[in-house]
Amino acid sequence: MQKTTEIENIRHSFAHLLAASVQKCYPKAQLGIGPVIENGFYYDFGNLQITDEELPRIEKEMRAIASQDLPFKKELWPSSKAAAHFKKEKQPYKVELIKDLKTQKVGMVYTGNAFLDLCRGGHVKNTKELPLEGFALNKVAGAYWRGDEKNPMLTRVYGLAFLTKKELEEHIRQEEEAQKRDHRKLGKDLGLFTIIDEIGPGLPLFYPKGAVLRRTVENYIIEEQEKRGYVPIWIPHITKGKLYKISGHLDKFDAMYPPMKLKGEDDYYVKPMNCPHFMMLYKTLLHSYRDLPLRYTATTTNYRYEKSGELSGLTRVRALTQDDCHVFCAPEDIESEIRLMLDMIQKVYEDFGFHDFWVRISLRDPKKRQQYIGFPKNWNIAENALRTVIQNTGMKWAEALGEAAFYGPKLDFMMKDVLGREWQLSTIQLDFNLPERFELEYTNSEGKKARPVVIHRAILGSTERFLAILIEHYAGAFPLWLAPEQVWILPISDKFLAFAKKIREELLQKDRNLRVIVREENETLGKKIREGQIQKIPYLVIVGEKEEQQGTISVRDRQKGDLGQTTLEAFSNMVAEQIQRRQ
């Protein structure tokens, strides 16, 4: 904990130096906010138009200020005095911040005697303590003031800060690798998906290869679910507002699109969540304890109004598809049902090549009870049940206050990719409250009415986000079983095109699901091979005169290179075995 506090103070101190330097280089710049973030810091500026090319000048000035051994000194000022100061300095964003704080006094921090900023604190004592060898400015971006697209667009300058030069260099190396793996770039280069302005931000469209990848992932999940007794349902994409009034979403969920108002009809909403539909479908039928647990599942798309400044490729979208599942069970079945889910999650992660993960037990914040629905007694039961189940598994876990859904606590699965970045994937939510609000019932073994418990579960989380993680984890070089195009057949010339098509048909006779493409373009073999490497095709099958005469094929492996000649039978068996093993 001490090291975390130390590096946060260092990063926050660098943010002050950044603001001081920008003001010196660009005196008319207006100061916004400058918080600490993971791996560094940033500062937002109004009335400033700069590009990355100007960062060296600002960084040089920061180093010059730091070399003066200036102390950081905090004072408490009356809010009115601080507001008057920033009004005089023509800093409207600071004045706004002070007004919104609604406190009698605010923190004002001096860097030496020349620069004064609004701040609650958290700095080194003197600029000489800053590890200048572990710091660098790295990019400029646009950002709406306070994250609201209705506000002015400011210029955000980002910086990196670490305790040592080695840590900085390692992070920069990782960032360069991350850029190579960026799913937005690879999505374009590999022809997987696109986002079109005329359709709207956060609404991705998938090309054939991306659609095949998407279908492969979703069909795999469906197959694994059905092995475990989950049954499919289907639900519509719009619903009356009264449904979300019952569930609490209208009061507690802030990413819903406005209602569709039709003359003489109820308000309708595009669905941001599936839970209420599942509840109503359950409620339409009579249920006995013999019917439970009832495992309903649907792969379906939701629509959420995410702020445009927060949208990013497939990781943050407005149309997100969930492999959603709701299990209706008796309280005594909670542990066994969650264990069934944990078994599936571990199997899925293993098959997709995700090996480093831990479980976050996401709990309510007891200081913010107004954010949640239901009775404290039910919350206590649900939270303790999740603790018990996960502690008995031997998995790595930690608790997090304030991360629960508004209707119940949950288990969030946090996975590290090959670059060490952490992502939230699967979630399991234990819910005593929505069954209460929807008045769900079943007849127990004593013939009496009882309330079921609902366990919400998604393995992928959202298909779009999962695909983004998958693309970056493999840098687009998917395992054979996932590759949208698994085999390219490359005839040396048009003379051998008929033989190439014959090879394709014979491969498909052995496995109709194999994804095989004959490249018929009138191009050189070398160009076709290079294109196959760029497109990260697992296997290139080359056919020419020698192969036609001998009834063989020449195979090139994406990783191992040229494998030489082999029989079609041997190649087909090798490919089938790899697909069966999810390789």
What pLDDT does residue 404 have? 87
What pLDDT does residue 524 have? 92
User: Which one of 271, 277, 456, 536 is the catalytic residue?
Assistant: 456
- For 334, the enclosing helix (H) or strand (E) is helix 334-352
> Does 560 or 263 have the greater pLDDT score?
560
Angle between the N-to-C axes of helices 208-227 and 463-474, in degrees from 0 to 180, rounded to the nearest 10:
110
Distance CA 222, CA 216 (A): 10
Whose CA is closest to 104, among 120, 81, 74? 81
What pLDDT does residue 4 have? 56
Verify whether residue 581 is a known catalytic residue.
no
Q: Which tens digits make up the pLDDT trace of 60-100?
A: 999 999 999 999 999 999 999 999 999 999 999 999 999 99
182 within 8 A of 472, measured Cβ to Cβ = yes
Q: Which tens digits make up the pLDDT trace of 204-251?
A: 999 999 999 999 999 999 999 999 999 999 999 999 999 999 988 888
Mean predicted lDDT score pLDDT of the chain: 93
Pick the CATH number of 2-181 from 3.40.50.720, 3.40.50.970, 3.40.190.10, 3.30.980.10: 3.30.980.10
Distance CA 470, CA 89 (A): 49
User: Which one of 275, 323, 329, 429 is the catalytic residue?
Assistant: 275
Domain ranges of the chain: 2-181, 193-234+285-474, 487-580
Verify whether residue 473 is a known catalytic residue.
no
217 within 8 A of 470, measured Cβ to Cβ = yes
User: Which one of 123, 326, 457, 556 is the catalytic residue?
Assistant: 326
Q: Which tens digits make up the pLDDT trace of 159-183?
A: 999 999 999 999 999 899 989 999 9
State the pairing for strand pair 40-46/30-31: antiparallel
State the pairing for strand pair 539-543/487-491: parallel
Q: What distances in angstroms separate CA 173 from CA 159, 176, 407, one per listed residue?
A: 15, 5, 42
First-to-last alpha carbon distance for the chain, in angstroms, is: 41
Distance CA 226, CA 342 (A): 15
Q: Phi, psi (5° rounding) for residue 238?
A: -130, 160
Verify whether residue 277 is a known catalytic residue.
no
pLDDT at 132 over 90: yes
CATH no. for 487-580: 3.40.50.800
Question: Where would I find the beta strands (DSSP E) of 440-566?
Answer: 442-443, 449-450, 453-458, 487-491, 516-518, 539-543, 553-557, 561-566
User: Which one of 181, 209, 410, 519 is the catalytic residue?
Assistant: 410
User: Which one of 30, 322, 429, 535 is the catalytic residue?
Assistant: 322
Which three-class secondary structure state does DSSP give residue 209?
Answer: helix
Residue matched to tokens 């090959």: 418
CATH no. for 193-234+285-474: 3.30.930.10
Verify whether residue 148 is a known catalytic residue.
no
Verify whether residue 557 is a known catalytic residue.
no
Verify whether residue 275 is a known catalytic residue.
yes
